[in-house]
Structure 1
Amino acid sequence: MRKLLLISFDFIREGEPNTSLAIGSIMSYLYTKEEYGSEFEVKHHTINMFSLNSNTTSLDIAQEIAYVDFNSFNFIAISAYVWNEKYLNDLMHILRIKYSFSGKFILGGYQISYSNNPSVEYPNCDLFVDGYGEDTVYQILMGKYKAGLVKSSLEFSDIPSPYTTGIIPISENQSKVRIETKRGCPYKCTFCAHRDLTNNKVLIKANDRVFEELIFFKNMNVNKINILDPIFNAGKDYLVILNKMVSIGLTSLVSIQTRFETISGEKGQEFLNLCEKLNIHLEFGLQTAIRNESILIKRKNQPEKIASVMEELNNRGISYEVSLIYGLPSQTLNSFNESIKFLKKNGCHNIKAFPLMLLKGTELYLEKEKYKMEEKTINEFDIPVVVKSDSFTEKEWLQMKERAEDLEYVNDRV
């Protein structure tokens, strides 16, 4: 029997299940295969990023999981993201040398899908999953792939719910859960890695699967449902899903990521009407209210349309927030402040701002030299952020950072 150990680096907040949705999805897919238990089996260990700090080393992480008999596993699969990038090579080396793991390492996640040459970047690894991991990991366990880069092929509707199958345990009055109704994004913002850069597709979950989870959450009295779709109100099924929430009398707080421009016409009005009937919170990733800045990141924001939608949200009393990015191409301290003023002028009282990260595989990552962007590692997870460019100094960036922190303080006080 082939045995797999999944090691994931997750952001598990208070009130959330200890298994992330990404891992739960992989495990529920594998657990329902007829070969599970006879030809292969899977174990999982999560490492909560909130338990780590800047002094945490790969050896510390290896010691945390040292209770495992590594040689009883044929494969160790590790999630690879920007927040745990610094641990990956050393961790594999330590598990191989210090703990005598003799099987094969598998890496999957954004850092692999968007790598130009993962075998060079991660020389201690044997197999690399490019794209979504559910079926690819299954094929590896069944012996189809032995080494190298494996591109994923996945029918989203084939994945059973990790919640209704019990892979992610939910208790009565669970504080928070995360679900998805689609994967990928139809837009092409240059800074974002949510788009499927490998296959350029948006995968849609079958509505009956979504309904099954919503009814389950209602019956369990879940307090908050975070829908992780990059843009929930894109495509053709989002109104159907909202209507289902209304019809089953869902009272959970539902948080969704939305886009201003898609709230238009009859569908836009129906969307807002349904939001009024639900306990819903809308998250708008505006990034900038300055038209020229938005064009450079292929966002093409429409300030007049945005102001109109915010007016309607305010009039209807629909809860929402808007997030900005500081450090964008051509952005200045003044233009960042103008974006904030625009939002406040139009009645937005929940504004958040985050520093620009140059994520591997994105268009902006490749344009670093074009805009003379310089990065520094300054946050608690050692993720590089842009602190200087041809349009702002590091001193001005620090002022933007202070303004962003002031916004967060105001949000916490409200």
Structure 2
Amino acid sequence: MKIGLIAMSGVRAWDPELLELGLSMPGFVERKTVIAQLPSLGLLTLAGLTPRHDDVSYHELFDIAQDPLPNDDFDLIAISSFTAQIEDAYQVADGYRARHVPVVLGGLHVSSLPEEALLHADAIVIGEAEEVWPIIVEDARRGELKRVYRPSRPWRLVDSPIPRFDLLDPEKYNRITVQTSRGCPWKCDFCASSILIAPHYQVKPVSRVVEEIRRIKSIWPRPFIEFADDNTFVNKKHSKLLMRALIPERIRFFTETDLSFADDPDLIALARDAGCRQVLIGFESPTLLGLDGMELHCNWKLKQQERSLAAIERIQSAGITVNGCFILGLDGQTPEVFGQILEFVKQSGLYDVQVTLQTPFPGTPLYDRLRREGRLFENRYWEKCTLFDLTHEPQGMSSGELRAGLISLSQAIYDERATHQRHDRFFSQLRTSSALAQP
């Protein structure tokens, strides 16, 4: 059986003016470059669960737009998409179904709005796909696809196969993803991943992570890895074991974590020695406004706010840069927040900064609350779920003030001179720290 896996990629601002500014997802690429360089780890994992006698190929949406796939080559198409690209996913799915090729849809958006997705698919997956994928393949082989597939239990990362990295074109990707954990204990109200797909936090065995990285190194000798985790360093004991195991592998990596990373100097040193180049930390707000009630189980970020500056200095002085994330439009924020963020960035010496808009993704508590309050601009605004586009009426300021503030703040933060100053300050402080550490 011939199976085509199609990943939807390339998120950036929908608003033309914001697009002109080059706003896109952050990472180790130029800000005006979309993230097509980051392959779909979920689809590559499913490929690893597919019988080897089946012919599996991996494609990006961009590939299909430039070089349409043959009309009748495939026996099954599987598409994974996120909200901002779901309309494109539906269009691709409809095209294949019109050619009588069965289509399976999955991903966060599909799990959030299954009835919508069923209008464009022969079958959908709600939740984690690993357990049900082998069943889907066999059902498709018999021509007996069910409409809906749901896992019977949370997937155990120890059971995950090595993703089929060999399906990728080595020339196309400047970063490769590896998952070391799934879920996050904090469960913020705007985050669908740890609520819908991975409600239980778990870690992948260190030996399995190392095995995956070695497989990647057999294709990319000096890879740059992005850990596809919601919160890599939240489990300190496991993280130290992992970092020690990674030191001999001589990789470079980027990951997301929280402010507690700064509390463990030994972990910071191990992460640096293991090749950690940058951590992305969600500060969300430079003041207490907007943080209260953000997390469903506790107010952990609210309690950490006052020690943010010291934490950034501790991490960056060890040689790991911090990409600080802030959300505009949180309830309680006023137009003063734009100046507050800019001042925080200057005081903290953050190496990189990500500024986004509060975005109510379907399936999140935030979406449900804003819909109840009648604050959503549209019922179906999926292409604007980019983190940079207005989707609802804010509190504390008008939508016009919020959009104008995002533009002016982005211009100030991403100005070439300001960026160089932040980077120069980091390297200057790093040299000073190194000199002081000399005996």
TM over 0.5: yes
Match of 1:65 among 61, 65, 68: 68
- Listed as ranges, the gaps of 5+ residues in structure 2 are 12-28, 424-439
Structure 1 residue 19: Cα displacement: 4.8
Corresponding residue for residue 110 of structure 1:
108
Tell me the amino acid that sits aligned with residue 204 of structure 1: V
Change (3 A) 1:67 1:412: farther
Structure 1 residue 366: Cα displacement: 0.7
Cα displacement string for residues 138-165 of structure 1 (whole angstroms, at most 9, x for unaligned residues): 11122297323211253322223236x7
Change (3 A) 1:44 1:385: same
Q: Does 1:406 align with 2:420?
A: no
CA contact (8 A) 1:373 1:390 kept: no
Q: Does 1:296 align with 2:298?
A: no
Give distance in 2, aligned partners of 1:232 and 1:131.
21
Give distance in 2, aligned partners of 1:392 and 1:307.
27
Give distance in 1, aligned partners of 2:335 and 2:201.
36
CA contact (8 A) 2:329 2:402 kept: yes
Change (3 A) 1:157 1:169: farther
CA contact (8 A) 2:39 2:177 kept: no
The correspondence of residues 1-400 of structure 1 with structure 2, limited to 5 A, is 2-11=1-10, 19-30=39-50, 33=51, 36-37=52-53, 40-48=54-62, 61=65, 64-69=67-72, 72-73=74-75, 75-97=76-98, 100-101=99-100, 103-115=101-113, 118-143=114-139, 146-152=145-151, 153=153, 154-162=155-163, 166-168=166-168, 170=170, 175-198=174-197, 200-216=199-215, 220-235=220-235, 236-246=237-247, 248=248, 250=250, 252-264=251-263, 268-280=264-276, 281-298=278-295, 300-301=301-302, 302-369=304-371, 373-375=375-377, 385-386=390-391, 388-400=393-405
Change (3 A) 1:120 1:304: closer
Corresponding residue for residue 429 of structure 2:
none
Give distance in 2, aligned partners of 1:119 and 1:370.
20
1:132 partner SS? coil
Tell me the amino acid that sits aligned with residue 280 of structure 2: E
Structure 1 residue 198: Cα displacement: 5.0
Cα displacement string for residues 234-253 of structure 1 (whole angstroms, at most 9, x for unaligned residues): 1241111111222x162x33
CA contact (8 A) 2:182 2:198 kept: no
Change (3 A) 1:138 1:89: same
Cα displacement string for residues 11-39 of structure 1 (whole angstroms, at most 9, x for unaligned residues): 49789878532221111221xx4xx42xx
Give distance in 2, aligned partners of 1:199 and 1:229.
11
Give distance in 1, aligned partners of 2:139 and 2:385.
39
Cα displacement string for residues 30-65 of structure 1 (whole angstroms, at most 9, x for unaligned residues): 1xx4xx42xx543333213xx8xxxxxxxx95x953
Between Structure 1 and Structure 2, the one with more strand by share is 1
Q: Which moved more, 1:195-204 or 1:379-388?
A: 379-388
Q: Which structure has more RCO (C-alpha within 8 Å, separation ≥ 6)? A: 2
1:295 partner SS? coil
Change (3 A) 1:198 1:289: same
CA contact (8 A) 1:388 1:397 kept: no
CA contact (8 A) 1:352 1:407 kept: no
Give distance in 2, aligned partners of 1:87 and 1:109.
14
TM-score normalised by the chain length of structure 1: 0.80
CA contact (8 A) 2:124 2:149 kept: yes
**Number of aligned residue pairs:** 382
Tell me the amino acid that sits aligned with residue 242 of structure 1: M
Change (3 A) 1:381 1:297: closer
Q: Percent identity?
A: 18
